[in-house]
Amino acid sequence: MADGTEKREKSKKSGWLWPVGVMATGLAGAVVVALRGCWHRRMSWPVRGQGCAYQVCLGCGAKRLFDEDRFRAYGPYRYDLNELIAWSRVARMGKPAPPKVERPAS
């Protein structure tokens, strides 16, 4: 009983992150979190490959595009770099502005 309560409290604490995470990273991200329990907190130093910069999660190996000008990662997490490149192409074509998860600069 005590164990279950403890676990439930823990997941409740970070519960608000779920909707945000699901929206930001899409289904793939949700699956990653569900299967691996990885929040991609530890990302590698950005590396260049196939004409784009990206970071790799040190925990699970997921990749994420990296904007070298703004020095921040953006877009969804994917294990396949080609998928990321395809995503960035679509995103760039759709609208020149960066992804929707925009926060006011502070």
Distance in Å, CB of 51 to Zn ion, minimum: 24
Q: Under the criterion CB under 5 A, does residue 98 sit at the interface with Zn ion?
A: no
Going residue by residue from 45 to 84, which x/- string records binding to Zn ion, judged by CB under 5 A? ------------x-xx-x----------------------
Query: Which CB atom, from 30 or from 60, has the smaller least distance to Zn ion?
Result: 60
Contact 87, 102 (CB under 8 A): no
How far is it, in rounded angstroms, from Cα 59 to Cα 76?
16
Residue type, 36: R
Which of 44, 93, 37, 96 minimizes the C-alpha distance to 66? 44
In the complex with Zn ion, the residue whose CB is nearer, 36 or 98, is 36
Residue the block writes with tokens 């000008």 = 69
Can residue 43 be called a binding residue for Zn ion (CB under 5 A)? no
At residue 11, what are phi and psi to the nearest 5 degrees? -70, -25
Task: Pick one of 24, 30, 38, 53: the residue that binds Zn ion (CB under 5 A).
Answer: 38
Residues contributing to the site for Zn ion (CB under 5 A):
38, 40, 57, 59-60, 62
